Amino acid sequence: MNQFSMGKFFVSLGFFIYGLKLVQEGLGTALAERFRYVVHNFTRTKLRSFVSGFVMTIMLQSSQGTNITLIGFVNVSIMSLYQAVPMSLGADLGTALLVLFFATTTVIDISSFAMVILVGALVVNIVFPRRGRTHYKKFVLGLGLVLFGLTSLSSLHPYIQSSNLLREIITMLADEPIFACIAAAILSAFLQSSAVVLGLIITMSSSGIFDLSESIPFVAGANLGGIVSPIVASLRAGIDGKRMASLHAIFKITGVALLMMLSSSLAILIPEISNSIPFQIALAHIILNSFIALVFLPITSWTIQMVLRYVKEHPNDKKFESKYLDKRALETPTVAFANVHRELLRMTEVAQDMFRHLLVPFEEATIETAEYIDDLDDKIDLLNREIKFYLAKLNQSELSDAEGKKQVELMMLTNSIESIGDVISNDIMLLASKKRRMGLVFSKDGWKDIKEFHRKVMDNFQLAVTCLASGDFELGQKALRNKKLLAQYEQELGQKHLMRLHQGHRESFDTSSIHLDLLSSMRRINSVICTVAYPVLDRRHA
């Protein structure tokens, strides 16, 4: 193979890889919301979950992409392991059609069709660069590049057949199947796509450079390399995300080990089905993933229980930081928004803890609790920054109108929760410091009123947070009704305080401004926390 043909080989391979990436990104964006709909409606049984994973991978053109998305969904509790595992088994088999398509391109001339698709996609992207539906334009452009890359690789068959160096490399690896498997696994992991490696193997096999028995270790390695990206994606995930990645790895390693052991038998059996080496390689890939599905689908519950027993959560003693803002999920807005929602719930838990302790500094002589509240406010500020930075990293041009609205909604909710921390740490703690510095004491009845108002706001705080977590419409309505009732109750307590002033209570005179400002601040907090119910109510009326 001369320098020109070598350069053409790598350029063609580059078109093929980049095109497949565009196809996966375009379809991934277009189908993100539908993926979530499938999860909620078609994963109630093992078989339906399996079929859903199979279909979604056919549409996404990437089993690794499907498995990474499943890890994200499991990590943020959109679905359980019992739903995700059968879907993962279906996803791995879903690459069968893509591999068969690669094999078909070796026997059918698609060069004219490839050029029409590619030129058409380029014209649309140049003439209408900023119009909507960018994900569909990306998909069509990617498809054109994939087809063009495949046809260009096919045109190199004479050079591949005459390359002594390539023949020697293939022969050396064929003599050591384990090394061939490892080499293909490394390439698959590096490219983050087993489909690319399988496509390359099938295209090169059509030139006659190797037969089925020599290609089986490469097929096994391409599948084995597919476990790396999900494992990497699970490193920052929670325990369930790690369990999902572990199960996927167990399935693949078991299947690959058996394929390697039965390679000699399969090299005799598969040619009875097809005489075409590219189709024989595609069948080897299909047999591998069909075997994995047939073995593990009936025993998914048992394998999940085994992983639950051995992959356990360890206490996290690291410094406080966000837990769910996985950067890898940014390519799928649905998963990214679910990550933010879960982080928002953590943020509200911290704000609740602040509110729960806010009266303690008014009773104690030390500043210990006030410092604790300041630490909690720092945590809220940290989560506020990280959530906003995370949302800002989403590609605005690829968000649908609904996704853009969701992004703004989450940003506003983050601001609301952060403002609660500011009211407590800046306003209320200042009142506590003033009372402590001046040695003031609330009247017995006044302090009782303050504690009762605090309790009622705390109850409504919990109601609003539960509404945010569950999306329950009735809870949202109840929280907003309580908002009005508590505003009226504050006025009643203000009237009672005024009566104590008329009665000449010295403590009421001394603490009047602190008393009224404290009630007002708690009422403001109640108003702010109730804003989390508005998105829930809006979705019901939409």
The residue among 85 and 238 whose pLDDT is bigger is 85
Stretch 251-272: mean pLDDT, rounded? 90
What pLDDT, on a 0 to 100 scale, did the predictor assign at position 431?
Answer: 92
Q: How many domains does the chain have?
A: 2
Stretch 14-27: mean pLDDT, rounded? 70
Confidence of residue 350 (pLDDT cuts 50, 70, 90): very high
Tokens of 374: 């300041």
334 and 431 co-located in one domain:
yes
Within a domain: 142: yes
CB atoms within 10 A of CB 125: 15
269 and 357 co-located in one domain:
no
Chain-centroid distance, C-alpha 495? 52
C-alpha to C-alpha distance for 332 and 339, rounded to whole angstroms: 11
Asked whether residue 351 carries a pLDDT value surpassing 90, the answer given is: yes
What pLDDT, on a 0 to 100 scale, did the predictor assign at position 165?
Answer: 66
Share of the chain above pLDDT 70, in %: 86
66 and 106 co-located in one domain:
yes
252 and 370 co-located in one domain:
no
> Which of 7-21, 69-83, 352-366 ranks highest by mean pLDDT?
352-366
Asked whether residue 229 carries a pLDDT value surpassing 60, the answer given is: yes
Which of 280, 310, 340 lies at the terminal end of a domain, its last residue? Answer: 310
Stretch 226-247: mean pLDDT, rounded? 84
Chain-centroid distance, C-alpha 382? 21
Q: Minimal CA–CA distance to 338: which of 323, 352, 319, 318?
A: 323
Q: Minimal CA–CA distance to 102: which of 28, 154, 26, 170?
A: 154
One-letter amino acid at 488 equals: Q
Asked whether residue 36 carries a pLDDT value surpassing 80, the answer given is: no
Give me Rg for the CA atoms of the chain: 31
Within a domain: 119: yes
The residue among 179 and 319 whose pLDDT is bigger is 179
302 and 386 co-located in one domain:
no
302 and 430 co-located in one domain:
no
Q: 357 near 370, Cβ under 8 Å?
A: no
- The per-residue pLDDT for range 96-123, each reduced to its tens digit, is 887 888 888 777 776 677 777 778 877 7
What pLDDT, on a 0 to 100 scale, did the predictor assign at position 53?
Answer: 84
The residue among 233 and 288 whose pLDDT is bigger is 288
287 and 366 co-located in one domain:
no
Q: 243 near 81, Cβ under 8 Å?
A: yes
Within a domain: 466: yes
What pLDDT, on a 0 to 100 scale, did the predictor assign at position 313?
Answer: 67
Stretch 509-522: mean pLDDT, rounded? 91
Within a domain: 225: yes
331 and 306 co-located in one domain:
no
Sequence-separated (6 or more) residues with CB below 8 Å from residue 65 = 24, 28
In sign, the C-alpha dihedral spanning 203, 141, 117, 122 is negative
C-alpha to C-alpha distance for 515 and 12, rounded to whole angstroms: 75
509 and 363 co-located in one domain:
yes
What pLDDT, on a 0 to 100 scale, did the predictor assign at position 338?
Answer: 86
Q: Minimal CA–CA distance to 428: which of 334, 507, 342, 354?
A: 354
Within a domain: 319: no
Secondary structure letter of residue 321 according to DSSP: -
Which of 282, 310, 338 lies at the terminal end of a domain, its last residue? Answer: 310
What pLDDT, on a 0 to 100 scale, did the predictor assign at position 131?
Answer: 52
Among 191-200, 252-261, 522-531, the minimum mean pLDDT is found in 191-200
What pLDDT, on a 0 to 100 scale, did the predictor assign at position 317?
Answer: 43
- The per-residue pLDDT for range 289-320, each reduced to its tens digit, is 999 999 999 998 899 988 888 887 665 545 67
Could you tell me the residue range of the domain that residue 487 belongs to?
A: 327-541
Asked whether residue 345 carries a pLDDT value surpassing 60, the answer given is: yes
227 and 337 co-located in one domain:
no
Stretch 123-145: mean pLDDT, rounded? 69
Within a domain: 316: no
What is 407-431 written as a DSSP string? HHHHHHHHHHHHHHHHIIIIIIHHH
Confidence of residue 2 (pLDDT cuts 50, 70, 90): low
Stretch 183-204: mean pLDDT, rounded? 84
C-alpha to C-alpha distance for 359 and 430, rounded to whole angstroms: 12
Stretch 144-160: mean pLDDT, rounded? 70
What pLDDT, on a 0 to 100 scale, did the predictor assign at position 156?
Answer: 62
pTM (2 d.p.): 0.61
What pLDDT, on a 0 to 100 scale, did the predictor assign at position 370?
Answer: 85
The residue among 129 and 404 whose pLDDT is bigger is 404
Query: Residue 478: which CATH number?
Result: 1.20.58.220
Among 61-70, 149-158, 232-241, 480-489, the minimum mean pLDDT is found in 149-158
What pLDDT, on a 0 to 100 scale, did the predictor assign at position 449?
Answer: 93
218 and 344 co-located in one domain:
no
The residue among 332 and 383 whose pLDDT is bigger is 383
C-alpha to C-alpha distance for 239 and 508, rounded to whole angstroms: 53
Asked whether residue 144 carries a pLDDT value surpassing 90, the answer given is: no
Within a domain: 315: no
Q: Minimal CA–CA distance to 328: which of 390, 272, 275?
A: 390
What pLDDT, on a 0 to 100 scale, did the predictor assign at position 524?
Answer: 94
26 and 143 co-located in one domain:
yes
Which of 263, 282, 310 lies at the terminal end of a domain, its last residue? Answer: 310
The residue among 335 and 294 whose pLDDT is bigger is 294
Within a domain: 322: no
What pLDDT, on a 0 to 100 scale, did the predictor assign at position 160?
Answer: 59
The residue among 153 and 250 whose pLDDT is bigger is 250
What pLDDT, on a 0 to 100 scale, did the predictor assign at position 283?
Answer: 92
What pLDDT, on a 0 to 100 scale, did the predictor assign at position 162?
Answer: 62
